[in-house]
Every structure is written in C-alpha cells, then in structure tokens.
Amino acid sequence: MNEKMKKGCGIGCGVFTILVFVIIGSVAFFVRDMSADYKAVEKSEKELVVTLGGIADFIPPAGGLPAADRVQTFVEVRQAQAEWRQHVANSFEEFLVKKDESAAGGFKHFIQLIRSTTDMAPSLASFWASRNAALMDHEMGPGEYSYIYCLAYFSYLGYDPGDGAHDSELDFSKDSGTGLSVGSDSEMTEGQRRDAAWRRINNLMLPLLETAERTELNLEPAEAEQWLAELDMEVAVMQESSMRYPWRNGAPRLLADIFRPFRKDLEEQYNIAVNPVELIFEQVKNED
C-alpha cells in the first residue's frame, strides 16, 4: 500500500486490506468459522490428499519427464476450472480498481472497496473447490499438478513465477514448506516480491527434482545420458541459489518436446492475475 493510499484510507483501510489478503492466502483455511465455503474447500482437499497423496508424496516418473497422457490430464483439469479462474481474475481486477479509487479518499470509495473484497473470497473458494474436484475426478494429486504446472508455465512457456504478485501485494516470502502459504506485505518492492515468488517455486520443485534423479528412465541410452546430465546440472544450480526455478532460461529439448503438442491449450489456460493462487494447497497432516 503506498503513502497516498494510507492517507486516503487511514488505519482502518490498511488493516482491512491486510485482513483481505490473509483470507486470500492459505491462512484462510484456519479461519474456519468465517465461511462455509472454505470449510468445504478444506474438506475436499483433505479427501484429495488422503486419496492421492500430498505434494511431498509425489514421485516424478521417468527421471522427471512427465508422460504425455499426464500432461493431457493436466490440461483437462485446468479446462474444468476455466470458468472459476475467470471469476477470480475478474474479482482481482475489480478489487484493484476499487483500491485505486479508494486511494483518492472518500467513504463511498472505501465502502466499494469493502464490497469488492467480499466478492473475492467466495470466488477463490469456488476456484479451489473446482480445482480439487477436477483433480479427484482425474486422479491427479496436488504434487503432480503443481509439478506439471511449474514445468509447463515457468520452464517451457517461460512465464514468471512472480506474475500477478506485484499488483495484488501478495507476499510469498514466508517459509511455508510445500503448503505455499501467502500473506500480505505492502512494503515489499516489486523486486523483493518477484524474488520471494522465485524462492517459493525453488522450495516446491527442488525436492521433487532431487527425487526425479533417482527414478527410472524410459529413454534410449544416449538420450537418457543427455537428460540426466541436464537434470543433474539444473538441480545443482537450484541447490546453489534459492531463487533459481527450474530451467529459468528455457526448457531442454526433451522436456519441451513433451509440452509442445499442448502449447495452445496451456497458453489459453494461463492467467497472470490468478497465477499467485494457483498452487495454494493446504498442508494436510496425516492422522494416526
């Protein structure tokens, strides 16, 4: 939040804005009495993890190279939630417009800002619920979905993990493990916000790629040698730098070949504004 907005809204507006983004983040899963919608999301996510495993349970196949049929399944999952992805994008856009108007001051604009936030939470809940339902229907767990999302959009298509984070003032700097929780920090610079988003993806993908180094490969010997060399090099770079996300400078040929037939669908299903909340999954603890 800039100084102009602080002066126009006062302390109350600042506190409310922070509350909004706490609700948006995965912290919202712990504020269970605030919305029946979020309780439903939590329930669906627990069922998903119990049935298909959590992010940390996923073991990448074939040395880390996704199978074409699983990429097709990923595309189908994203198509199933396309409507709610657009609803979330519209809610974010409406909020940012009202936030800018509220920065000019005035009670009317402040009330409009509050109204726009009340529309945002149910849109997000429905978006996550639709994603969880689609994943369950297609038997794809959160780990596999997140893994393919990062490789498809950040490695192959070259999108930035920080897409959408700056305008929404989301903060991914907190160490949340595989839960990828978010908060709000309006004082972060654009560069700090981007760096935090990059660290978030490193934190998610590095353990998975380290596991991939130990899995079986279904490739000809020469190609297997080439891929393992590229994978080992990328893992080493990611271990060296916490802000390195997989193949930041472009996907190697074998990985790009897998995603190329799906390029059109993948591009159509990407939304910069929604990117920050795509991979938010609750950390469901296993019960004895």
Q: Is residue 281 one of the residues assigned to a domain? A: no
Residue 112, C-beta contacts closer than 8 angstroms, at least 6 positions apart: 98, 101, 102
Helical H runs in 138-186?
142-149, 165-168
| Domain ranges, residue 112 | 3-31+44-275
Highest averaged pLDDT of the listed ranges 1-10, 102-111, 141-150: 141-150
Q: Is residue 287 one of the residues assigned to a domain? A: no
pLDDT-derived band of residue 98, with 50, 70 and 90 as boundaries? low
C-alpha–C-alpha distance, residues 29 and 39, integer Å: 7
8 Å CB contact between 88 and 124: yes
Q: Is residue 99 one of the residues assigned to a domain? A: yes
Helix/strand/coil for 170 = strand
pLDDT-derived band of residue 26, with 50, 70 and 90 as boundaries? very low
Kindly state the average pLDDT of the residues 139-147: 96
Q: Is residue 38 one of the residues assigned to a domain? A: no
Domains in the chain, number = 1
- pLDDT of the residue at 3: 43
Q: Say which amino acid occupies 142.
A: P
Q: Is residue 170 one of the residues assigned to a domain? A: yes
pLDDT tens-digit readout, 235-261: 999 999 999 999 999 999 999 999 999
Q: Is residue 262 one of the residues assigned to a domain? A: yes
Between residues 228 and 13, which one has the greater pLDDT? 228
C-alpha–C-alpha distance, residues 6 and 4, integer Å: 5
Flag whether pLDDT at 84 surpasses 80. yes
Kindly state the average pLDDT of the residues 211-223: 85
Between residues 192 and 228, which one has the greater pLDDT? 228
Global pTM reads: 0.79
280: left (phi over 0), alpha (psi -120 to 50) or beta: beta
**The Cα angle at residue 277 between residues 152 and 112, in degrees rounded to 5:** 140
Flag whether pLDDT at 104 surpasses 70. no
- pLDDT of the residue at 182: 41
8 Å CB contact between 148 and 266: no
8 Å CB contact between 260 and 70: no
Q: Is residue 286 one of the residues assigned to a domain? A: no
Q: Is residue 282 one of the residues assigned to a domain? A: no
